[in-house]
Amino acid sequence: MTDYVIETTNLSKRYSENLVVNSIDMHVEKGKIYGLLGKNGAGKTTTMCMLLNLVYPSGGEILLFGKDPKSHTKEVYSNIGSIIETPGFYENLTAYENLEIISRLRGNYNPLNVKMVLEMVNLDHEKSKQFKDFSLGMKQRLGIAAAIMHNPELLILDEPINGLDPFGIKEIRDLLKKLSCEYGVTILISSHILSEIENIADVIGFMDNGVLIDEISREELHNRLNKFVEFEVSDIDLAVELLNKTGMKENVDYCFRRNLSEYIDDLDSNKNSDGMLIGGTIHLLSNLDLRDEFNSLFVSSGIKVRKVNLCEENLEEFFTRFVSNN
């Protein structure tokens, strides 16, 4: 039986007539990194706020660590660290001083523990630098340090890489992987940056308009990405005509894009009204094993084929297709 740290059933949130989270069933497995992916306004933050008891659900059930948080409040929430909005720290204090204040307020100050979490987030060498002089990536890492200082088993992070430069994104990515792999922390992370979710998450939950459309493991995702053959041709109109004559259907068996900035005038036949050929790109979506035959068909018809590539759609293309089909 799978051990879920987070499990929801028909979880919903309504504000007046606006249903922002619609009956979602979420399953976050222990020790995994779960990426909640969706565009801005999809309902990701509201979902996380309900999990953290910051927003009261309109309906549905939540189980955290297999327990109802309403009847096991202290036991459950003392084992969770979170960042929902940009963490607030004292600008004129160092990382250590800020964490010391937070831990004293929580009643669990331990200097060794503060030093340990600063080492974990790679801020132990910034002993004298004040928070106001931190980079955005350093500020986010300090926020994560504050969230894990009490050794939680679950970490909930809302858009932790938003606004970071590539170096800062890599720092956060490496840190979260370290927390998961080396310390066994279960992580729920939300983002609208598809490539980063793909790079870090073991499981991806696709959310759109308040609906959790599906939960897909990284391995299953790559199996479900569409494969296609890309032809770059000198005469896109003739190539499309040839495909249609073979019984291929546009947007089913193939799709194409004209390259209107590129004209080819070194052939005498099949020119447009200006005496120029318009090149373009064809994506063969079916019958991929016949790519050599299609290539021969194009070439024998006087079309120059500049490139033939076997390709795979990226996560952004998959997400767009996946959401539009559901």
Give the containing element (helix H, strand E) for 80.
strand 80-83
The SS3 of residue 210 is coil
Residue 261, pLDDT above cutoff 60: no
Q: Which pLDDT band, with edges at 50, 70 and 90, does 262 fall under?
A: very low
Residue with tokens 């193939």, as numbered in its chain: 254
pLDDT value at position 267? 41
Place of tokens 């998959």: 318
What pTM was computed for the model?
0.79
User: Do 158 and 52 share a domain, yes or no?
Assistant: yes
Highest mean pLDDT among 22-31, 37-46, 173-182: 22-31
pLDDT at 121 over 90: no
pLDDT at 252: 86
Number of Cα atoms under 13 Å in the Cβ half of residue 92: 0
Predicted confidence band at 263 (pLDDT cuts at 50, 70, 90)? very low
32 with 181, same domain? Answer: yes
Q: How many CB atoms lie within 10 A of CB 15?
A: 11
Q: Residue 299 has what pLDDT?
A: 96
- Among candidates 123, 114, 178, which has minimal Cα distance to 146? 114
Do 144 and 259 belong together in one domain?
no
Q: CA angle, 156 as apex, 75 and 185 as ends, to 5°?
A: 75
pLDDT at 46: 96
- Scan for tokens 């947007």, then name that residue: 251
pLDDT digits (tens, 9 = 90+) for 126-139: 888 999 999 888 89
| C-alpha to C-alpha distance for 65 and 57, rounded to whole angstroms | 18
Among the listed ranges 168-182, 204-218, 275-289, which one has the minimum average pLDDT value?
Answer: 275-289
Query: Residues 100, 196: one domain?
Result: yes
The boundaries of the domain holding residue 307 are 227-324
In the predicted model, what is the mean pLDDT of residues 201-207?
94
Contact, 198 vs 33, CB < 8 A?
no
Q: Over pLDDT 70: what percentage of the chain?
A: 94
Please give the DSSP secondary-structure letter assigned to residue 133: G
Rounded distance, CA 312 to CA 59, Å?
40
Q: Once rounded to an integer, what is the mean pLDDT over residues 102-109?
A: 89
Mean pLDDT, the chain, whole residue set = 88
Considering the domain architecture, whether residues 150 and 254 belong to the same structural domain is answered as: no
Same domain, 182 and 266: no
Q: Measuring CA to CA, which residue among 175, 194, 172, 193 is closest to residue 185?
A: 175
Q: Which of 53-67, 160-174, 261-275 has the highest mean pLDDT?
A: 53-67
Confidence at residue 120, expressed as pLDDT on a 0 to 100 scale: 86
Beta-sheet strand order (sheet of 305-312): 254-264, 277-284, 227-233, 305-312
Per the structure, how many domains does the chain have? 2
Q: What's the CA gap between 301 and 260, in Å, rounded?
A: 21
Are the CB atoms for 186 and 153 separated by under 8 Å? yes
- CATH code of the domain covering residue 241: 3.30.70
Is there a single domain that holds both residue 29 and residue 129?
yes
